[in-house]
Structure 1
C-alpha cells in the first residue's frame, strides 16, 4: 500500500499535531499521502472528504473517535477501500490504534505485516403502506426509537415471518457484530466477536419482565412493525448518521447485505483482551 488517504476530525486534533506526525511518517517510508480539500463543516463534512479522495487511495487512515471513523467508513465501504482508525477519542473500538503508536503503525503497514478484516453489514428497508419508503445500509446498527415523545412504542418483532414478541419499549437496537460494543451493549446486548456473521436484536427499556436480546443467523430476516394505533412519529436511526420518521402501521426489514466494511488490522491481540483493557483497564496477570 503506497497511496494512503488521511482523514482528520480537526476538532479532535487541535493544531493537526497527530495528522502532521502521520503524514511525516508515511512519507518517510516512501508513501504518497492523499489529502482532501479542507472542509469547513468539521465532522459533518467527512463523508464528502472521503468521496473526494477514495478513487486515488489504497487505504484510508482516519484520525478521530469512533464517530469520526464510522462517518468516514460509511463512505469508504462503497469504494471497497480498507480503513484504519487512530483513536483521538475515548474508548475507540473502531479506532483501535492509539496516538502514541502512529510511527510503529506506519512501519508495520509498509512492512506488509497486516491483515484485512471483512465486517458484516446489514441493510435496512422501511415500508409505509406496504411500499418501500427508504433503504440504507449500516455498519454498526439500526435503531428504532420513540425520539422526543413520551409515549411508549409497541413493536412487534418477527424472524423469517415467525412472530417473536410484541415489545412495549422505548425502541429496539438491531446491531451487527461490529456494533455489539456500541448502543446495543448499552441497552443490555451481548458482546460478540466483530468478525462473526449474525444480527443482535435488543429491546430498549422493555416494559416486560422476561425480555432479553436475541440473536438471528446471518441468513435470517428480521421484521419490526409499529402498532397500527400509534399516532405519533418514531425514528429510525442508521449508524447514528441518518434519520427516518415512521408511524403506526409502518415496518422495518433488516437483513445481511452483500456489502462489507474492510478494516486493516496490525495488532494480533485477541478481541476480548481488547474489550477487557478498554472497559476495565485490566492487563493480564
Structure 2
C-alpha cells in the first residue's frame, strides 16, 4: 500500500471508530471514492486494534475494575467489577456468533456504496430519535442482564457497513434511558472484547502469511489510528457531557443523502 493510503485509512479509522458515524462505512468508502484498491479486512482490523489501545488507555480505570472483577470471578466472588465483566461478555456473544456465520457476506456482498448510504442515513435518523425520546437517568452501574443482551443484539447490526458499531450501541443505550456519556462509555467498553478477538485472528493470519510488507503496513496503520482515536474519544466525551448527539445525526443525514445521490448516479465524483 502507498504511504498516503495508509495514513488516510488510519486517520479515518481513528477519528470515526468511536464517533457514532460508522468507521467501517468510511473505510469502505475510501476505495470506492478513490483509485486505491480496497485495503481488505486485514488493514481494517489493524486500525481497529490501534483504536482498541486508545480506548483501553482512556478508560484505564474501568479496565482496572474489569481486571479486578475477572480475578474475583475466578475465586467465585462478585462485586461491581465482576458484574461489568459478565455484562460485557453477554453483550459480546451475539456479534461473535453473527460475525462467524456472516464472514463471507461481510467481506464481499455488504461492502457496497448503496448499503453504506442507506445504513448511514437510516441508523443516523434512529440515533436522533433515541436521543430525543430516551430518558437520562441510568449509568453503567445500573446495567442489567437484559440491557446488556439488548445492546449485544444491537451490536450485530454493526456488521452492516455504514451502521456504526458505536452509533447503534449508543442508540440502544439511549432508548434504555442511559445518560449520554454513559451510553458512550459502555459502548466503548463493549468494543474491547470484540476488537481484541478480531485482533488475535489478524495476528494469526499475519503470522501464517509471513509477509513483512503487509505486517509493516498493519503496524503503521494501527499506531496512527491509536493517536487519532485517543484525541477523538477525549473530544467526544467532553462534548457529550454538555450536549447531545444531534450534530452527529445531522452529519449522518447529510452524508447519507450525498452517498445515495452518488450511488444512484444523481451526481458523479
TM-score w.r.t. the length of structure 2 is 0.22
Q: Which has the larger radius of gyration?
A: 1
Higher relative contact order structure (alpha carbons within 8 Å, sequence separation ≥ 6): 2
Q: Which has the higher helix share?
A: 2
Task: Please identify which structure carries the higher strand content.
Answer: 1
**TM-score normalised by the chain length of structure 1:** 0.22
